[in-house]
Structure 1
């Protein structure tokens, strides 16, 4: 597992670390997932959850005060509570409170029946977990998905973030999503922030939470602290 910080750019500290699957030769998650057979997805999902908790705690997550964000496949969850047992066992064994965990699913994933996904998220909320929609804006569900389920976070896909400082349409889209999220009580996280221009444009739009190479690359078996650009000096009135 590798871990990448999700930064609160106002408090200038990580609020969470996303656990990212890496191969033995450094292969990215996309390459690994492409090799997983459909019949092995459930076991793979379960093993990744446990590995993420074990790796993050070993790297110092408990002491950091940050949360751990774990990706999951909604279509592999046949029963929310039954499928949580290995995860809960790992958290209890390593003294990681349940409310330190966030579960995120991709908008591009096969979410199947919307009611089933809603049941999963409600069960996770009852356990104290945070939840997030990942890659928002990249799939076909979009706003329809927001009408079906409620999560704590919306993670904007990097395709919306790339070059946002030079793309008025993308700025308008992000601004619109932020207004909707605020009214629904959901926080927005910008993924894939790579340039100062993108960072400044997102800050101007009021985005508080960010993740990307500008801040920190994923750290293998470690929790990178992350670095933020210096905020512009504010004028002080006499």
Structure 2
């Protein structure tokens, strides 16, 4: 697993880290996942969760409240309660609080059974996990996804973020998403930030959580440093 920080512009600190699948030779998540057969999905999904919790328990500084974000595949979850057992056992074994774990699923994975997905999120919340939708705005369901259920957090896809400082259309779409999220009580996170200009526009629009190469690239089995003083200085000038 590799880890990429999520920055909280309101608090001026790292909010958490997303655990990202990597091959032992540095292969990307896409390369690794492309080799996972449908029959292997459940076991692979379970192993990734356990590995993420194990590494986070070792890497996260003691005493700091940090979130661990783990991706999961809805189609690999056959029964929510049963599929959580390995995660709960890992959290207990490594003394990692379940309240510090966020599960995110990508909107790019087509979900035909929304009732099943709703059951997953309900079960996860029952155990104190935070839930999130990744790549929002670039996948199959779009805003229709929010009609059936409301996650705790939405990660706005980088395709809506890229060049937003020079795109009135992107800013208009973002304003709509911000309004909907506010009405539904959903936290927003802007992912894929690559420039200071993108960060400035999004921070001014009211986004609080950020992730992207501008802050730090993922580090293999390590926590990459974020130049907090420099980022906070920019955030302060935008406020």
Range into which the TM-score falls when normalised by the shorter chain: over 0.9
Distance 1:114 1:94 in 2: 33
Distance 2:193 2:14 in 1: 15
8 Å contact from structure 1 (residues 10, 208) kept in 2: yes
Partner of 1:96, secondary structure, is: coil
Distance 1:23 1:122 in 2: 32
Aligned residue in 2 for 1:189: 189
8 Å contact from structure 2 (residues 136, 157) kept in 1: yes
Distance 1:33 1:16 in 2: 24
Q: Residues 232 and 89 from structure 1, CA distance in 2 versus in 1: closer, same or farther, beyond 3 angstroms?
A: closer
Aligned residue in 1 for 2:28: 28
Aligned residue in 2 for 1:92: 92
Aligned residue in 2 for 1:154: 154
Q: Which moved more, 1:108-117 or 1:149-158?
A: 108-117
Partner of 1:15, secondary structure, is: strand
Structure 1: segments with no counterpart, 5+ residues? none
Q: State the shift of 1:140 in Å.
A: 2.2
Aligned residue in 1 for 2:180: 180
8 Å contact from structure 1 (residues 61, 67) kept in 2: no
8 Å contact from structure 1 (residues 17, 69) kept in 2: yes
Structure 2: segments with no counterpart, 5+ residues? none
Q: Which moved more, 1:32-41 or 1:127-136?
A: 32-41
Aligned residue in 2 for 1:230: 233
Q: State the shift of 1:61 in Å.
A: 5.2
**1:54-105 CA distance string (max 9 Å, x none):** 1111112554310100000011111111011111110000111111100000
Q: State the shift of 1:225 in Å.
A: 4.0
Which structure has the highest helix share of the two? 2
Q: What is the root-mean-square deviation of aligned Cα atoms in Å?
A: 1.3
**Paired residues, what number?**
234
Distance 1:19 1:220 in 2: 10
Distance 2:236 2:46 in 1: 47
Q: Residues 233 and 71 from structure 1, CA distance in 2 versus in 1: closer, same or farther, beyond 3 angstroms?
A: closer
**1:83-139 CA distance string (max 9 Å, x none):** 111111100001111111000000111323000100100111111000000000011
Q: Which moved more, 1:54-63 or 1:159-168?
A: 54-63
Q: State the shift of 1:233 in Å.
A: 6.3
TM-score, normalised relative to structure 2: 0.94
8 Å contact from structure 1 (residues 56, 222) kept in 2: no
8 Å contact from structure 2 (residues 161, 170) kept in 1: yes
